[in-house]
Amino acid sequence: AQSVTQLGSHVSVSEGALVLLRCNYSSSVPPYLFWYVQYPNQGLQLLLKYTSAATLVKGINGFEAEFKKSETSFHLTKPSAHMSDAAEYFCAVRGRGSQGNLIFGKGTKLSVKP
């Protein structure tokens, strides 16, 4: 069965510092992986997705993620944090069956200090 684990429920960085949010997956088939962001009192917005076309995936707002099969990881990074990046970030893997079935991690809340 597919699953994702996000290491660290809360990450705090200073403005301008590197952002690194960790995600490890478990899947018995080639995984399709996603990162979503959720701002307070809002729904989820897709940041980027891994579809096996390229291991380094670039997304919106300067974020990118690298798929590493040997490490079963799909960590999200951004070179320089901005105050507007403060939000909750969810890693997800496509589940079996229907297209709408995404299996989400528990999320990592990112705080950005001025």
**Residue numbers at the binding site for other proteins (CB under 8 A):** 32, 34, 36, 41-46, 49, 51, 90, 92, 94-95, 97-107
- At closest approach, how far in Å is the CB of 30 from other proteins? 9
Instruction: Take residue 57 and report the two structure tokens written for it.
Output: 């995936």
Residues 7 and 53: their CA atoms lie apart, in Å, by 26
Q: At its nearest, how many Å lie between other proteins and the CB of residue 114?
A: 26
Task: Enter the tokens of residue 51.
Answer: 């579809």
* Smallest separation, CB 19 to other proteins (Å): 19
Q: Which of residues 18 and 46 has its CB atom nearest to other proteins in the complex?
A: 46
d(CA 84, CA 89): 13
* Between 13 and 33, CB nearer to other proteins: 33
| Contact predicate 109/8, CB 8 Å | no
Based on CB atoms, which residue is closest to other proteins, 86 or 102? 102
Looking at the Cβ atoms of 19 and 92, the one nearer to other proteins is 92
Q: How would you class 94 by CB atoms within 10 Å of its CB: exposed for 0-12, middle for 13-18, buried for 19 or more?
A: buried
- Length of the chain counted residue by residue: 114
Tell me how far, at minimum, the Cβ of 43 lies from other proteins, in Å. 4
